[in-house]
Every structure is written in C-alpha cells, then in structure tokens.
Amino acid sequence: MTIRCRMAAVLAMMWHGAALAAEDTNGALASVTVLGHYDNAVGTSDAASQGTVTANLIANRPALRTGELLEFVPGMIVTQHSGDGKANQYFLRGFNLDHGTDFATWVDGVPVNMRSNAHGQGYSDLNFLIPELVQRIDYKKGSYFADEGDFSSAGAAHIGLSDQLKQGIANLTVGGYGYQRGVLADSFAAAGGTLLYGLEISRNNGPWQTPEQVRKYSGTLRYNHGDAQDGYSITAMAYRNRWNATDQVPLRAVQEGLIGRFGSLDPSDGGDTSRTSLAWNMHRRGSDQVTQASAYLVHSSLDLYSNFTYLLNDPVNSDQFQQSERRTMGGASASHAWLNNIGGIDMRNQLGVQTRYDHIAPIGLYATVARQRLATVREDRVDEASVGLYAENTSYWTPSFRSIAGLRYDAYRFKVNDDNANAHKFSPKLSLIFGPWAKTEYFINYGAGFHSNDARGVTGPDPAQPLVGTRGAELGVRSEWLPGLQSSLSLWALDIDSELVYAGDSGQTEASRASRRTGVEWSNHYIATPWLLFDLDLAVSHARYRQSDPVGNYVPEALDKVASFGMTVKDIGRWFGGFELRYFGQRPLVEDNSVRSAATTLAYGRIGYQLSRRTKLTLDGFNLFNRQASDIDYYYTSRLAGEPAEGVNDVHFHPVEPRTLRLTLSHSF
C-alpha cells in the first residue's frame, strides 16, 4: 500500500544519520534517493523549510570560520563581532539571533546552546567542531516540530558526525595573516565496530592591528557498533582555544584617524574557552517501530574580556569587564515511534522525553583592566533543570493528504544561589501536508514554542518571564517537477512575547517588547549536470514590535533581506572549484529606523587540482572583491578620551576581513 510505504519511509528517517527511503513507481520501498548534495525531501518532509545537507556539499564549499557550517541552512547569515574563539553571530528569519538565541543547534545529540550563559542567553559556540568529520546537517525552520524545545522558535540544526571515513584524511592549510591549520583523521575496525579519530590544530593572527593569536586545539574520538537496524555510538570530544579580540569599534574613531579600520581601542580584549564532552547514542529499528536514546555529559569553561564603551563608566581604569563561567551539563533523551492502523487510517505515532541539567559555578561579571580583576560586579551559583515531554501523531488520511498533530510540555526549575523559580509551558503543533502531485507537495504549519530566559533574571525581587512564548505559522510548497531541481517556497509569520535584543553597554541580550515577524523564503538547488551544481536562496522579512512606543517600533538588528548564490564544479578532468556570493541586507540599528547599517556583499571562491588519486591542492579565496564592509553594526553610547562625560552615540562596527587566500594540501590514506 502506498500510504504504508510512505509511513515506513518516514519512519526510516527517525534516527540520526538514517537513510532516507523513497517510493518506487509501484509503491514499494526503493533505495536511497539523493540528488548529489541535498537529500530528496518530497514525501518525507513535514515543512517546506525543512531539509538535509550532505557531506558532499560541506566538503566542496570554502568556509572562513567553523560556524559558517550553519550558512548551509537557507537564509542563515553567520558573522563575527569579536575574536574567532568566540561564538559567532547568527541571523535568520528577521532575527539577530546574537550568539544563538531562538536557533537551537545540536551536535551528535548534544545541545550546543548554553542557557544562562555568562555572555548571552543561548550562547552557541561551534568552534569545537572539526568540519571534515561532519556527515550531515538536518535543519528545520519554525516552531512546528514537537521534538524541538528551547531556543528553536526560528529553527534548529542537528549536525551529525561520521561513523566511518572512506579514507584517512591529512590536511595542511596555510594562508594570509599567519593562518595555519592541520587536520588528521581516520577510522578503522576495532572491537567489533569502528573507531574514528580526528585531530585539529590551528593558528591565526588575522588582519587586526592587535594580532589575534588564535591557538585552537580540537580532538574527536568516536566508536560505532552495529548497523542501520541496531547500533550505538560513543563519542568523546575535547577543545581548547585562546585568542586576542578586536571587538566592534566606534565609527568616529576610524573617521578621526585615532585607529585604523582594523585597529583596537583595548588590545587586552580576548578570551579563553574549553569544552570536553562524552555522548552515547543508540537506535533500534523493527519492521514497524524505531527506538532511540541518548545521553551526554559536557564540561566547559569560558572567560571573555570585552570593552565596548571604553571610558564611559570608568574614565580612570576604562570599562573592560570579564564574563566568566565554569559549567557542567548533563542530559538524556529517549523516543519511540511506531506504525499502526486505527479505523482504517494508517498512523505513525511518537513519544519522547528530553532532560537536561546545568550546574554553573561560578558564573560572574567582573570589572577588569588589561584582564586583571578590579572588582566583582556579580558572582552567582546557578542550577537549572528541565524536562520536556512530547507526543506526535501522523495520520495518513489519503494517499495525498496527511496531518501531523503534536503536543509538547516543558517544565523548568531555576536556582540562583538561594533563590528559586519554577515554570512550565504547553506547546501545541499542527501540520497539514497535501500531495505529492507531479512531484510537488504543499504544507500548512502551525506551532507554539518558547525560549527560556537567563536564570539570573527570572529569580529575585523583580523576575522576568521564565519561558517566553512564541507562535509561528507557515504556508509552503516544495517541488522537484524539473529533473535535478529542488525548489521550496515558504510564507511564514512568528510572534514572540518578549524580544531579546543586544545591549552594547553590557555585551549581553536583554528582554524587550513583544514582536512580530513575517517573511517569504525561496530556496533552489539545481544539478545541471553531474559536474555542475547551482544554489540560489532568497529571503525577505519584516520585523516590528507589537506594542507601540514613541521611541519607535523597529526591532534593532532585524535583517530584512538575504540572498546567496552558489556554484560547485567538480570532475572537470583533474580540476574542481566553486563560487559563492552572499548578500546581507541593511538593518535598523535603533527603534525609529533613523540609523541603519549598510548592506554587505561578499564573494568566496575555490579552485582545486587533483595532483594524484590521493592528493589534491585547493586554493580558497575570501572576500574576493576586497569589499570594505561590516560583519556587524551596533548603535549605542561610548566615550573616548576627551569626549563629554555622557559619551557619544555612534555606530560601532566590526569589519569583514580583507581579501584572504588559503592554500590546502590534502592527502588521503
């Protein structure tokens, strides 16, 4: 039966890294259908804005920073406003997501977003990843998925690691501004399974007047046992990074010649971070059911030294501050999905539970000068625990119509020193999917979601809302009517009860008014020939506060236009290459829209040559047109020497790096 086969195909997706099954012309389960770099999604996706990126595309596109892996999510922009040891800045669907709020990221079943973080709520640092070990990225946009909880209102990405490498990897990269990187990875049979290891060491000074002096070390050890039907993996990861930072600087300081475009007003800014983790994942599949479970333990540390306002608050010692935390995080999840038939209606049901506990001690904010502490502004001990329960039913009413109804319940307990707070929230979800007709499918999606607030803000005498509700809806269409073309179109809306916006004087996000965003996204992936792939993604959004205020109703930093074009060429004799063009639109920097950022357009390129069957040489170029643009712009008050005590309102920007070349020698063994 066609419906039953499609149910089984979807069930086959339901563990991390599983194969995507598709129907053949007779309705039977066929082999995996993969169009080069993006998995076939018609008949298996629950929304038009959901998809999977495979390792082939990841390997064929140049990336300036590790966090740019998330730019494979259509419409996502990844930038940086500080040193490259810090979490990136993310933009999606009209959000300045800061360092990750409202976009949930997972690696190997482990959450990356740090709640109640020293620097910002939802802090999501991907620098510990070794990109060569990433096997796939499963992304979702919107709040319509019952298995997604905190931080996922704008979307979520689940990054899966490889269980086995086809060949060993030895990469050596050198580039401008002192860039050096080495990677060594391989896998081999061990103890009835497969043992994979990966090591990365990198150095970088960047174009900054104060050399960045990045010192980064990453390691991964992964054991996998079993097969697609029944198996498990154990993964250990370790990461350490130290760096100097050139944070955003006031535009007037550059215009007046006080510093150069890549100069700094406090050369002692920077940071030190580390992360170690252990994760276990298992899956078990029967003829009509799938069981998954996972558990993880993470220990991390973070010390950030920043000076965003210079001499505004302390004209003697300056305004540098340290944000510091030591965190131990543990959690587990389990889900069970099964097929059945009630009243002649085929169904897929799923039940799941997710738990997490964060112990952060100490977490502090300190006044510093040249990284030496002067005073303790605040120091706390934070314990935050949560449990999420969800249920989801997919009913296949006809061969061309199915519905997905879900309900999620989340409960939180916050403890800051001796203060306690509790919160809970129900989040209903509903999706209606029509088709496919002529390889085209239509979606109606609705869902409620939330993001948690910092525990330090939800306890005490004047608490903020612990769990901020969101409500999203989407109309979408996904089509593969033209051979080789995958195209999706989405019209979406999202309401949030309290906006989190960046505060320049503290370097953190702060709660603000309720807001509404609407937008349209159009994504296209076209395989013109086996050796030529094109990508075109366009996104337009509109963001406003819902509660009118005389200061204005624009949401600061909310981007309204994103466009990206990519081309990948391979197997032209021994040659291969690619090109990417990314447009990051203007944004209001203040509520009345009187100050706006400039748009940023960047081009990346790659050209490579296969020296032998196992060895190749690749040249990557970044900012090919050497544009003088900004990675980020903020508008706030700061004070330089000789300026009035009340300071000066100004644009503060972090420039994109100038044209940079990197040469990589890769050898497989």
Q: How confident is the model at residue 27 (pLDDT cuts 50, 70, 90)?
A: very low
Number of residues assigned to the chain: 669
% of the chain with per-residue pLDDT over 90: 87
pLDDT tens, position by position, 399-458? 999 999 999 999 999 999 999 999 999 999 999 999 999 999 999 999 999 999 999 999
The DSSP result for 15-59, as a single string, is: STTPPPP-B-TTSSB----EETTEE--TTT-SSTTEEEEEHHHHH
**Helix/strand/coil percent split, the chain, to 5:** 5, 60, 35
Question: How far is residue 597's CA from residue 575's CA, in Å, rounded to a whole number?
Answer: 39
557: left (phi over 0), alpha (psi -120 to 50) or beta: left
Neighbours of 634 (CB within 10 A): 23
pLDDT tens, position by position, 586-638? 999 999 999 999 999 999 999 999 999 999 999 999 999 999 999 999 999 99
Which helix or strand (DSSP H or E) is residue 7 part of?
Answer: helix 2-12
Q: How confident is the model at residue 460 (pLDDT cuts 50, 70, 90)?
A: confident
For 159, residues 6+ apart whose C-beta sits below 8 A from its C-beta are 69, 105, 106, 107, 108, 129, 134, 136, 137
Is residue 103 within 8 Å of 124, Cβ to Cβ? yes
The model's pTM: 0.93
Where does 50-184+194-668 sit in CATH, by number? 2.40.170.20
Question: How far is residue 202's CA from residue 595's CA, in Å, rounded to a whole number?
Answer: 38
Is residue 448 within 8 Å of 431, Cβ to Cβ? no
Question: How far is residue 659's CA from residue 622's CA, in Å, rounded to a whole number?
Answer: 6
pLDDT at residue 642 is higher than 50? yes
Is residue 555 within 8 Å of 549, Cβ to Cβ? no
Determine the pLDDT at residue 38.
Answer: 52
pLDDT at residue 509 is higher than 80? no
